[in-house]
Structure 1
Amino acid sequence: MPETEYILEMRDIVKTFPGVKALDNVTLKVRPGTVHALMGENGAGKSTLMKCLFGIYHKDGGTIIFDGQEVDFKDSKEAIDGGVSMIHQELQPIRMMTIAENVFLGNYPLGKFNLVDHGKMNAETSELLKEVGLSISPKTLLNDLTVSQMQSVEIAKAISHKAKVVIMDEPTSSLTSSEVEKLFEIIRQLKAKNIGIIYISHKMDEILRISDDITIMRDGQYVGTWPASEMTTASIIHNMVGRELTSLFPEKTNVVTDEVVLRVENMTSPNHLSFKQASFDLHKGEILGIGGLVGAQRTELMEALYGMRGLDDGKIYIKGKEVKIKNPEQAIANKIALVTEDRRYNGIFGVLSITDNASIAALKQYVGGFGLLNEKRMNDVVDSNVQRLRVKTPSNKTPIGSLSGGNQQKVILARWLAGNPDVLILDEPTRGIDVGAKYEIYQIINDLAKEGKSIIMITSEMSELLGVSDRIMVMCEGRVSGFLDRTEATQESVMTLATRFMTENVEE
């Protein structure tokens, strides 16, 4: 294929950070009007490569040819002005500004007296919204939009900048199946405009369905590029991890005992607006999976158990004793820990170090004489847990924000293990994590259960729900619709329970 057929060529890109070579002569070539999947385990260097293209990082070596010209964008504004747009996994809109103000942020059309021409801005935004299938006023605040709509606004912004290459980082991680279909339709429209799309995702079915070409990276190095039509899930995994994964899930070694660690009775949210009359128990050494469709109120129920939400009714028992949990501090005191769904939003402190992030939930136990922090004790505990969970990092002083998603998740687990909880609630623990790192997280969950910890795991991935859980609780429209033992659980039986009350409502 002639080189002129590429809209973007990244040749032999090198990027080094203190103690680690993040990119080692990496190559990426993208054709216009195609979807080019960029794949690799967390920490493989995908995001670093894209940041080098987008001007967030400055490469230490190599060449970037964009639209026939050698470029080296000094910052993201220069990249955007040059025709490259990037839609990040964690969307960061300015929520109290309108759609139009977000789309034209930093590039407002000016009118008389050098003032912002709101009429022109709103009119142009309306046309852009039509292109991405949004029938909504450009004056709508971003705070009033769904995640899917915010993402469409980001795509509209990319179109407004006349982007020739659009980078999409995990674009479907927070979308429902119907929203995914809408996104794919927008992607097809972008392809028709001859725009090249770099698509980063860990979802194999999406990659094989939407991609034209697939480039795989491993440990900061280029592995290869293939036509998507020639690849299978097995071949992608083999090239990503450098080994065969004979099973997606580790062998279960935990033993579920008869001892009930946690019992919940008739937990109901205020005014019955969220969940109602939810009851379940959790045994020592058990992994209880919670399944259900979007809107089933699984997260809301667990946040109430953790004291983040109020209750209208219900009782909580820890080892047979009734307890009151009105805030997270009381939950922690009762040996309950929660790993939230959105790492970036309410999980990590991105600018702080691994040590700070891993110790912050148990600072009281590190206080020594005269009320001073015993840093040696704190560092010893953090070091132990970081090694135990095999966190890949040059140093525990490294900012957690610079780690891959899988390693960030391990640090959050290390945070809670420092307090030695009895109950560990994991909300979408492998969201945005590659297949190799997922296996490591599954092994950690299994090992913790083997040690006698009791795990509650919310997941929207059916294979994960069936492959990791000892027992499954399914929710539908705020109610517990049933329980399934792992020996009897199937996709069909889970989906039947997940739609149980929807069916009842239709029949009524």
Structure 2
Amino acid sequence: MSKLVEMTGIEKYFPGVHALKNVQFDIAPGEVHALMGENGAGKSTLMKILSGIYQRDGGDLVINGQSVSPTTPGEAQDLGIGIIHQELSLMNDLTAAQNIFIGREPRKSFGRLDEAALNAQTAEIFESMNLDMDPTVPVGSLTIAKQQMVEIAKALSFRSKVLIMDEPTAALNDAEIAELFVIIRGLKAEGVGIVYISHKMDELKQIADRVTVMRDGEYVGTVGAAETPISQIIAMMVGREVNEEPLEVPDLGDAEVSLKVTGLNRGRDIQNVSFSVQRGEILGFAGLMGAGRTEVARAIFGADARDGGVIEVHGQSVNIRTPSDAVKAGIGYLSEDRKHFGLATGMNVRDNIALSSLDLFSKGGQLDEAAMASTTQEFIRRLGIRTPSDTQEVRLLSGGNQQKVVIAKWLLRDCDILIFDEPTRGIDIGAKSEIYKLLEELAAEGKTIIVISSELPEIMRLSHRIAVMCEGRLTGILPGGKDTTQEDIMQLATQREAAMRVVETVQ
């Protein structure tokens, strides 16, 4: 079969770094080819070469049978290469049609915008995608999933024959993922080749035809998705086997109840939620998108005002109205959006770790820089943060190491209760394993851990108990470990009223 793209012997150098070493990759018409690897494996660099953002330093790039060297994204688009980045680049105040054809709008005489033609051309693209969407809808009013469809339509408007999708399901719920997969299968039927980059291993069996794995800038191998076990792909990615079995749930006995929440309410988002967590326990929160899990965490942390409810920390009722109140009570919250709410990405590792604890390093109105540096180095060693130095800008670290910096920040505050909201979102499989191990170590040290995750395997892998929410209500609490199945969780996640099978919460 002829290939849409063939990349062989690709080399790329940056100052002091050999980023790609003799890498190969190809894609055929009507194929979904997954590109897998840990953060820093070279996936993005390879795709930036294909899409004209970077130029290769060696090797050959063949598109539609011709050796080419696109030097700009525009040149790559002209060759039929489209890319949909994880961070969508749409303008919310413009319509879907205006976003798709911005800078290329059809014109009438004297240069006037032809709105009718603009909307008709957009409707034609939507129809080819079997997508029911009004071309005149403002993009800002659409869900993330629908915005992603607009991005796909924009790429197709350039007559792209190859679409690069970077983490396309990172912010989607299960129903939206199913909708996206319908679009992808339609594109396959039209002969479009899809390069699919994702950290979600369960998606490979659903959508990918082949899988190419990279590690440390090198090509590891290409395998068929259907016949290759996930465990083998993971081993190819990380160079070792990763344990994904549920943890052994410890017997906490009569360990102290660190956090008790009773009758928590906030409008329709949180309705009479009650639970408790012991010292040394990991309590997972599961549920579908919009179930109210993050809202519960934000209300406990004081980020959102609550309408009612009692919060007790170590047996004492606490009045938490602001995040500062929560921190004083020993509660830390790691947001699902670490880049916006957990990190100052333009600052270095040392400053990010110390930022919430500057009072600990203040001497006579001045910061003790030596103490800050020493403490930061201690956390870098303790958490295994991979960084050239503590003065490295956080934005240059991988997602897993950025998450460790946020964890270090809260550990420095000596918070006894840590709430992790989507702790491994956008993090590769190897880094996930390290985060899991770290959370288990923190629990073993006596920290109280709450984990919110949209990934059921992650919840089952980590949790001693699993609290399940649906439409603002806590519908059940299940045992962790091997005693609970995904079907048990989904049954509770799709029913509003409390289920019969509930493990008694700690009183």
After TM superposition, the score normalised by the length of structure 2 is 0.91
Give the partner amino acid of 1:289.
Answer: G
Spell out, residue by residue over 1:366-410, the C-alpha distance to the aligned partner (whole angstroms, 9 max, x if none). 3333x3333332232222222322223334443333333222222
Task: Check 1:194–1:423 CA distance in 2 against 1; reply closer, same or farther (3 A cut).
Answer: same
Q: Is the 8 A contact 1:250 1:442 kept in 2?
A: no
Task: Check 1:138–1:349 CA distance in 2 against 1; reply closer, same or farther (3 A cut).
Answer: farther
1:244-393 aligned within 5 A: 244-248=241-245, 258-269=255-266, 272-369=267-364, 371-393=365-387
- Select which of 425, 432, 442 maps to 2:426: 432
SS at match of 1:277: strand
Give 1:296 shift.
Answer: 1.2
Spell out, residue by residue over 1:279-331, the C-alpha distance to the aligned partner (whole angstroms, 9 max, x if none). 11121111111112222111111111112212111122222222222222322
Q: Which residue of 2 aligns with 1:129?
A: 126
Q: Is the 8 A contact 1:256 1:283 kept in 2?
A: no
Distance 2:124 2:204 in 1: 30
Spell out, residue by residue over 1:414-442, the C-alpha distance to the aligned partner (whole angstroms, 9 max, x if none). 23222221111111112233322211111
Task: Check 1:363–1:58 CA distance in 2 against 1; reply closer, same or farther (3 A cut).
Answer: farther
The worse-fitting range, judged by mean Cα deviation, of 7-16 and 353-362 is 353-362
Q: Which residue of 2 aligns with 1:66?
A: 63
SS at match of 1:394: coil
Q: Which residue of 1 aligns with 2:52?
A: 55
Q: Which residue of 2 aligns with 1:160?
A: 157
Distance 1:437 1:173 in 2: 16
Q: Which residue of 2 aligns with 1:442?
A: 436
The worse-fitting range, judged by mean Cα deviation, of 226-235 and 495-504 is 495-504
Determine whether 1:234 maps to 2:231. Answer: yes
Determine whether 1:497 maps to 2:488. Answer: no
Q: Is the 8 A contact 1:202 1:432 kept in 2?
A: yes
Distance 1:392 1:154 in 2: 34
Task: Check 1:310–1:132 CA distance in 2 against 1; reply closer, same or farther (3 A cut).
Answer: farther
Q: Which residue of 2 aligns with 1:46?
A: 43
Task: Check 1:249–1:52 CA distance in 2 against 1; reply closer, same or farther (3 A cut).
Answer: farther
Q: Which residue of 1 aligns with 2:222?
A: 225
Task: Check 1:125–1:14 CA distance in 2 against 1; reply closer, same or farther (3 A cut).
Answer: same
Q: Is the 8 A contact 2:258 2:278 kept in 1?
A: yes
Distance 2:39 2:331 in 1: 28
- Select which of 163, 168, 173 maps to 2:170: 173
Distance 1:48 1:383 in 2: 30
Q: Which residue of 1 aligns with 2:477?
A: 483
Give 1:87 shift.
Answer: 1.3
Distance 2:21 2:253 in 1: 46
The worse-fitting range, judged by mean Cα deviation, of 191-200 and 79-88 is 79-88
Q: Is the 8 A contact 2:244 2:461 kept in 1?
A: no
RMSD, aligned α-carbons: 2.5
Determine whether 1:206 maps to 2:200. Answer: no
Distance 2:326 2:166 in 1: 34
> Which ranges of structure 2 fall in alignment gaps of 5 or more residues?
500-507
Task: Check 1:383–1:133 CA distance in 2 against 1; reply closer, same or farther (3 A cut).
Answer: farther
Q: Which residue of 1 aligns with 2:143?
A: 146
Task: Check 1:252–1:27 CA distance in 2 against 1; reply closer, same or farther (3 A cut).
Answer: farther
Give 1:246 shift.
Answer: 4.8
Task: Check 1:40–1:273 CA distance in 2 against 1; reply closer, same or farther (3 A cut).
Answer: same
> Which ranges of structure 1 fall in alignment gaps of 5 or more residues?
none
Spell out, residue by residue over 1:224-265, the C-alpha distance to the aligned partner (whole angstroms, 9 max, x if none). 112334322122122112222354456667957621222212
SS at match of 2:271: coil
Q: Is the 8 A contact 1:254 1:447 kept in 2?
A: no
Distance 1:236 1:307 in 2: 42
SS at match of 1:495: helix
Determine whether 1:416 maps to 2:419. Answer: no
Distance 1:23 1:254 in 2: 48
Task: Check 1:476–1:366 CA distance in 2 against 1; reply closer, same or farther (3 A cut).
Answer: same
The worse-fitting range, judged by mean Cα deviation, of 16-25 and 273-282 is 16-25
Distance 1:44 1:73 in 2: 23
Spell out, residue by residue over 1:9-46, the C-alpha distance to the aligned partner (whole angstroms, 9 max, x if none). 22222333445433222111111221111011222121
SS at match of 1:93: coil
Spell out, residue by residue over 1:188-213, the C-alpha distance to the aligned partner (whole angstroms, 9 max, x if none). 22122221110012223321232222
Determine whether 1:100 maps to 2:97. Answer: yes
Distance 1:365 1:44 in 2: 38
Distance 1:157 1:175 in 2: 19
Task: Check 1:415–1:246 CA distance in 2 against 1; reply closer, same or farther (3 A cut).
Answer: closer
Q: Is the 8 A contact 2:246 2:460 kept in 1?
A: no
Distance 2:351 2:98 in 1: 36
Give 1:108 shift.
Answer: 3.0
Give the partner amino acid of 2:172.
Answer: L
Task: Check 1:449–1:61 CA distance in 2 against 1; reply closer, same or farther (3 A cut).
Answer: same
Distance 2:259 2:246 in 1: 26
After TM superposition, the score normalised by the length of structure 1 is 0.90
Give 1:278 shift.
Answer: 1.0
Give the partner amino acid of 1:304.
Answer: A
Give 1:503 shift.
Answer: 9.3
Distance 2:202 2:488 in 1: 22
Spell out, residue by residue over 1:69-95, the C-alpha distance to the aligned partner (whole angstroms, 9 max, x if none). 333333334433432211122324222
Task: Check 1:502–1:267 CA distance in 2 against 1; reply closer, same or farther (3 A cut).
Answer: closer
Q: Is the 8 A contact 2:119 2:135 kept in 1?
A: yes
